[in-house]
Structure 1
């Protein structure tokens, strides 16, 4: 007769990682970076410390994993292959809408507030936020511009991508951070309208610089 397995069933890796990220996010926002630790996360997530260390070697890397989990959907293929069609201009609206949702989510705004308020961890948190959040958005937009541009050597796609995202996100983020707006509650229609107004205003200038017609 086969022996019945004892104890709780094994959790798969993705489930464990989601649990760790959820616990990490809650602890970071509830207690701040000063009290944020691998030990605290392991207790909150109900896993061994070695399990958390297998995912991140220190608390800074763990915060990076949190931010990266928000932006992982922004990864793009990069330069098109020869003969490959350029992306539909309408896809820029979809990309900017995704970035708007991520950058102005409740969690992202909470992290931005924490960076502004946490004197001890501000420098480290800001670098993590920039590398795993802001820069991924910039590179996603830069890749789109790079795939769509004609032969315009002087066109700096990274600079233009930063300008695009600054204009689209910076002011709503500032207002959200001081409690004047709750953009995470915007409906899909509201986000589409905001992004659409922006793209309609800047598209003629943008495509002229790209050297291609929309």
Structure 2
């Protein structure tokens, strides 16, 4: 995985061949083919390994309403630590350039990263709603808004080189603010109490 990631970020998608990955990893090609049948599967495994990192936080069983926000904060921290890492930001930068296999790599990234991570978080939110611990009319929309607040702007800044990736950048304060906004504590209109 590390060899494939390094080649992707430093040599590009075209240079990330099964032979090059095996050579960089010090493996026989036959051994590498046991992990993945081709380059597309190998890159999908790299991206999936990032979303696999979300599982431990999402597996925590929440039993009471006051436990929902800390559990959600832990999940968002896991997501941020994975998708705002130097490697993930590097892949995002690569996807913002033009190269022959861009549509193929973008589809792998979308399916194994963005869509998979979003589905995992939306499922967690739905489970908390089903237990009566969270009220959300549309958990998928809440999921998208949370990911946008916590991930989208920092990722843009990191991709532009304006902010350092995690762990240099601490996602904690942004996560706290996003959850306060979700709870209605960080923002209110002036007209809220007026007739």
Q: How does 1:1-214 map to 2 (within 5 A)?
A: 21-75=1-55, 76=58, 85=63, 88-89=67-68, 90-149=70-129, 155-186=137-168, 190-204=170-184
Structure 2 length-normalised TM: 0.81
In structure 2, relative to structure 1, the CA distance for the partners of 1:203 and 1:153 (3 Å cut) is: closer
Instruction: State the distance in 2 between where 1:24 and 1:183 align.
Output: 20
In our comparison, the structure showing a higher alpha carbon Rg is: 1
Residue 86 and residue 120 in structure 1: after superposition, are their counterparts in 2 closer, same or farther (change >3 A)? farther
Aligned length: 179
Q: Tell me which stretches of 4 or more aligned residues in structure 1 moved more than 6 Å.
A: 151-154
Question: In 1, distance between residues paired with 2:180 and 2:136?
Answer: 24
With normalisation by structure 1, the TM-score equals 0.75
Q: Per-residue deviation at 1:175?
A: 0.9
User: Structure 1's 202 and 186: CA in aligned 2 closer, same or farther, altered over 3 A?
Assistant: farther
CA root-mean-square deviation? 2.5
Q: Mind listing any 5+ residue stretches in structure 2 that lack a counterpart?
A: 186-195
Task: Check 1:92–1:154 CA distance in 2 against 1; reply closer, same or farther (3 A cut).
Answer: closer
Q: Separation in 1 of the partners of 2:162 and 2:135?
A: 42
Residues 153, 94 of structure 1: alpha-carbon distance in 2 compared, 3 angstrom cutoff: closer
Equivalent-residue separation in structure 2 for 1:117 and 1:175 (angstroms): 16
Q: Does the 8 Å CA contact 2:50/2:82 hold for their aligned counterparts?
A: yes
How far 1:186 sits from its partner (Å)? 3.2
CA distance in 1, matches of 2:163, 2:142: 27
- Where structure 1 has 5 or more consecutive residues not aligned to the other structure, the ranges are 1-20, 206-214
Partner of 1:14: none
